[in-house]
């Protein structure tokens, strides 16, 4: 089964992914967490700051890999060895659709990530995996401006971006609702 966990920044995607990882491990599945390895900037996503996650890794219950691109060989290797495959920030990894397409019916694959850039341009990786997803979980965050539960926009706070994916945290991005997004952009 393939599940997509998507939404804006700070909508709880990684927390939801962690919950799924816990369930897989408690169910004695062979589990792997794949994170994006981004060129020369090292890898991003959230650190292994979560204590439970760190213990899973230390106790060899969870394998963590950094990948920049899915190849045919890598996909076959992953699907044959692991039961449960978790991908955090999948849109930063090239060729995700190959994993979605080639995974076996016995594999549980979870893709977690943003739908679009802070300019609301949908990531091509997102579009490419959609036909293969059996379940889609769409999360909203809390608006960090007004407190609305409809925080659906990732607002970039740093002026002009130099690249489509700019690795950042709470200092660079915040989650806002449509009303606040439009107000901040002077369109309301």
- Residues known to be catalytic: 89
Which residues, 147 to 166, sit near Zn ion by CB under 5 A?
Answer: 148
Intra-chain end-to-end CA distance of the chain, in Å:
42
Does 22 interact with Zn ion (rule: CB under 5 A)? no
Number of chain residues interacting with Zn ion (CB under 5 A): 6
C-alpha dist (Å) from residue 98 to 66, 69, 107, 161, 186: 17, 10, 14, 29, 41
Residue (of 133, 142, 138, 78) closest to 114 by Cα position: 138
- For residues 116 and 130, which CB has a smaller minimum distance to Zn ion in the complex? 116
- For residues 84 and 118, which CB has a smaller minimum distance to Zn ion in the complex? 118
Q: Using CB under 5 A, which of the segments 23-31, 153-161, 165-173, 180-188 binds Zn ion?
A: 180-188
For residue 54 the two structure tokens come to 């760190």
Binding mask 131-150 for Zn ion (x = CB under 5 A): ------------x-xx-x--
CA 121 – CA 37 distance, rounded (Å): 22
Binding-site residues, please?
165-168, 173
The contact set with Zn ion (CB under 5 A) reads 143, 145-146, 148, 177, 180
């Amino acid at each position: 089964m393939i599940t997509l966990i998507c939404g804006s920044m700070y909508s709880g995607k990684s927390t939801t992914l962690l919950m799924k990882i816990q369930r897989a491990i408690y169910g004695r599945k062979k589990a792997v967490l794949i994170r994006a390895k981004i060129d020369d900037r090292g890898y991003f996503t959230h650190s292994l700051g979560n204590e439970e996650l760190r213990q899973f890794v230390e106790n060899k219950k969870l394998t963590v890999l950094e990948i920049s691109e899915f190849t045919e060989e890598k996909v076959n290797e992953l699907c044959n060895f692991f039961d449960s495959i978790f991908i955090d920030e999948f849109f930063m990894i090239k060729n995700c659709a190959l994993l979605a397409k080639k995974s076996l019916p016995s594999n549980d694959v979870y893709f977690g990530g943003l739908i679009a850039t802070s300019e609301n341009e949908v990531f091509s990786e997102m579009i490419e995996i959609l036909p293969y997803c059996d379940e889609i979980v769409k999360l909203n965050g809390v608006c960090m401006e007004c407190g609305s539960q409809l925080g659906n926009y990732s607002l970039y706070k740093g002026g002009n971006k130099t690249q489509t994916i700019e690795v950042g945290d709470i200092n660079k991005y915040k989650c806002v609702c449509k009303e606040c997004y439009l107000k901040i952009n002077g369109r309301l």
